[in-house]
Amino acid sequence: MSGYRPDDEYDYLFKLVLIGDSGVGKSNLLSRFTKNEFNLESKSTIGVEFATKSLNIDGKVVKAQIWDTAGQERYRAITSAYYRGAVGALLVYDVTQVSTFGNVGRWLKELREHTDPNIVVMLIGNKSDLRHLVAVSIEDGKAFAEKESVYFMETSALEATNVENAFIEVINQIYKVVSKRAVEAGSDGPASALPSKGETINVKEEASILKRIGCCSN
Binding stretches for ligand GTP (CB under 6 A): 22-28, 39-42, 44-45, 70-72, 126-127, 129-130, 156-158
> CA-to-CA distance for 14 and 133, rounded, in angstroms?
35
State in angstroms the smallest separation of the CB of 22 from ligand GTP: 3
**C-beta closer to ligand GTP: residue 25 or 85:** 25
The closest residue (CB) to ligand GTP is: 25
Beta strands in 20-59 (DSSP E): 48-57
Calculate the dihedral angle through the C-alpha atoms of 121, 48, 192, 14, rounding to the nearest 10 degrees: -80
Q: Which of 126, 193, 134, 190 is nearest to 161 (CA)?
A: 126
State in angstroms the smallest separation of the CB of 70 from Mg ion: 6
Contacts of 179 (CB under 8 A, 6+ apart): 58, 197
**C-beta closer to ligand GTP: residue 91 or 171:** 91
State in angstroms the smallest separation of the CB of 80 from ligand GTP: 19
State in angstroms the smallest separation of the CB of 172 from ligand GTP: 22
**C-beta closer to ligand GTP: residue 44 or 202:** 44
Residue 192: which of ligand GTP, Mg ion, none does it interact with, CB under 5 to 8 A by kind? none
> CA-to-CA distance for 208 and 170, rounded, in angstroms?
27
> CA-to-CA distance for 15 and 62, rounded, in angstroms?
11
Q: Does 45 bind Mg ion (CB under 5 A)?
A: yes
Q: Does 27 bind Mg ion (CB under 5 A)?
A: yes
